[in-house]
Amino acid sequence: MPRIRPISRERFVALTLSKHPMATLMATEVEWYSDSAENVLGVIILDHTDRDWNYVVLGRDERGLFRWITGDCSFEKVEAARASLHLKMDECAAGSDAVFPQGDAKRKKNEIFKQVVPDERLHPFFVSLRDQEGHSPAKEIIQEIAYAYVDLDGNFIEQFQSEGFNARLWELYMFAFLREELFVIGDRTAYPDYECIKGQTPVFVECTTVNPSPGFDIDWTPETQEQIDMVRRDYLPIKLGSPLYSKLKRRYWEEPHVSGNPLVLAVHDYHKDDSMTWSSTALAEYLYGRRWKGIFDGYGGLRTAVGRVEVHRWQEKEIPSGFFFQADAENISAVLYSNSATISKFNRMGKLAGFGSPRVHMVRCGKCYRHDPNATEPDNFSVDVTPETYTETWGQGVAMYHNPNAKHPVDPFLFPGIAHSRLDGKNLVSDMPEFFPYASKTCVFVARSGQ
């Protein structure tokens, strides 16, 4: 008889990304289980309305999604619900099939690591992700996300394996993040990328990335504070401004399904290794056309000096600053930014959910926001990435910059797990989570056999 074993909440959540957010609002999950082959999952829930115990059994459908097979309700004691769940899971797992067809499949299974392009077109990051043991946690959790992801364009896998790897990785990250934020994701159209619904108001999200520009990009890495400040002042605003301006010209707000609703541009910087570690300050300055500098007064208190920025110049290129003040930008509700939608992020999230080789170990270190009104420097952090010592969410490190001129502002309460920044007069006011990493590196170690 198949053995039923408990699993972590993190693993259950990673395996059930297709779950409707309403399920989370109607009941509280308290225990999670799997059979030994992980063909069948089970969860015990406490119903919010009747205050009784229920259980649900799930199995993979034709597309690889874990979905409802059977369940029962109205148990007075959690022990009775647990005993009944285990018996039903044994029954469901006893068959030889690992697939439980639902009969409503309208699309193919997203087997994202099944090669569909010639070897010469494979992106080196895809090959590394697919083949290296040290990236096995990322590989396995990305596959689970891909099962739930709906490819409306029809070319997602091809691009993920080739020249569009970074852009498609960003879209996968955003999908996982939006599901974590309990949005229902619509599938009416691929333009913009995501129609996100929570309550009565849809929010549309269009993803874009900062990519390499041969002949313009710096061929060196800023190391000193002076060098970092220099690239933040002009070089990075131009890099960030190019994809944002391109998306502005697409005029998504004129689409009938978007018109009258909040529209968010989500941007990630992939143009250079580690470039995302110094992009966030540059983005805020470019969006608002202002530069802020902390100055201590005679009493040791920190105040902020504000200066207007009109243009950004680098080499022969010049762009106006203040994206939110440009023509038509009032149709953009906010810009969302993350510096961590990388293989390392998926690797950590996969490790915490129990995916990948058990020989893989990780240590994350970096700099994070310091909750001190007089702080001018961030805090340092270093932590072993293990379920016993560390937690992380998809939203950790995500920041939303709100447009002061937006026709249709986005409610910050729709995105409770992230940082929010807005312009208050001349000052930038930010609501920061308890832990917000500015930049980090994840060191990956693969233990030798027997260690």
Query: Is 261 within a domain?
Result: yes
Give the chain's radius of gyration (CA, Å). Answer: 23
Query: Is 293 within a domain?
Result: yes
Q: Which pTM does this prediction carry?
A: 0.94
- Residue 51: which domain range? 4-93
Cβ atoms 322, 330 nearer than 8 A? no
CA atoms within 13 A on the CB side of 185: 26
Query: Is 311 within a domain?
Result: yes
From the CB of residue 98, how many other CB atoms can be counted at a distance below 10 Å? 12
From the CB of residue 107, how many other CB atoms can be counted at a distance below 10 Å? 12
Residues 135 and 71 in one domain: no
Query: Is 214 within a domain?
Result: yes
Which of 338, 362, 379 represents a domain boundary (last residue)? 338
Place of tokens 């469901």: 92
Query: Is 272 within a domain?
Result: yes
Q: What is the pLDDT of residue 451?
A: 53
Cα–Cα distance measured from residue 360 to residue 365, given in angstroms and rounded to the nearest whole number: 17
Over residues 98-113, mean pLDDT: 86
Give helix 165-180 / helix 124-131 axis angle, nearest 10°.
Answer: 60
Residues 179 and 320 in one domain: yes
Of 108, 102, 91, 27, nearest to 66 by C-alpha is: 102
Q: Place 10 in a pLDDT band, splitting at 50, 70 and 90.
A: very high
Which of 338, 359, 393 represents a domain boundary (last residue)? 338
Quote the percentage of the chain above a pLDDT of 70: 94
Residues 140 and 8 in one domain: no
Number of domains in the chain: 2
- Average pLDDT score, the chain: 91
Query: Is 139 within a domain?
Result: yes
Residues 257 and 306 in one domain: yes
Span 345-390, pLDDT tens digits = 999 999 999 999 999 999 999 999 999 877 778 899 999 999 999 9
Cβ atoms 305, 295 nearer than 8 A? yes
Residues 176 and 260 in one domain: yes
Which of 310, 338, 366 represents a domain boundary (last residue)? 338
Q: What is the pLDDT of residue 149?
A: 93
Residues 60 and 194 in one domain: no
Span 315-338, pLDDT tens digits = 889 999 999 999 999 999 999 999
Residues 222 and 297 in one domain: yes
Query: Is 422 within a domain?
Result: no
Cβ atoms 405, 323 nearer than 8 A? no
Residues 141 and 203 in one domain: yes
Cβ atoms 370, 410 nearer than 8 A? no
Residues 166 and 296 in one domain: yes
Query: Is 412 within a domain?
Result: no
